[in-house]
A = this chain, B = another copy of it.
């Protein structure tokens, strides 16, 4: 909790500064997971996110993938070109709109997914195991509130 006794311009104590703490925690967690599938499948985090979204929503366009993952379209485009090349994602052209692509996991892509999804879940479980039930439910509630549309 920010200490009211420090004047506003006093040096920040990074280790108690919420944005900093979130950043450290988030990076540590994401990196641990990413290292895992990176090492085993040479799959980047953006690529995995694209695959995860296509596993749930088959036939999306690239723009829709970008929306769902909150990544920008350039990142998605790059991830897709690699994924299509390695054969884990299929890309067709939308009939009726030649600009749009129609994306989905290939058989091989599903096979990767079958391995990586449980891996990711395992990391999450591991993280949550540090909390008790009460803490877990507060965490979800707090995240929901904090994420209620960032008002700049």
Binding site for B on A (CB under 8 A): 1-2, 8-14, 17-30, 32-33, 49, 52-53, 55-56, 68-70, 113-114, 117-118, 120-125, 127-128, 130-131, 135-143, 145-148, 150, 152
Contacts and interface: CB of A to CB of B under 8 A. Distances in A.
26 contacts: A1-B136, A2-B121, A2-B124, A2-B125, A8-B121, A8-B122, A11-B52, A11-B117, A12-B52, A12-B56, A12-B121, A17-B120, A17-B124, A18-B127, A18-B139, A21-B143, A22-B26, A25-B146, A25-B147, A29-B150, A131-B142, A131-B146, A135-B145, A138-B138, A139-B142, A142-B142
A14 B120 CA distance: 11
The 3 nearest A-B residue pairs measured at CB: A11-B55, A26-B26, A11-B56
Contacts of A30: 19, 22-23
Given A22-B25, A29-B22, A53 B142 contact: no
| Copies of this protein in the complex | 2
Contacts of A12: 52, 55-56, 117, 120-121
Contacts of A147: 21, 24-25
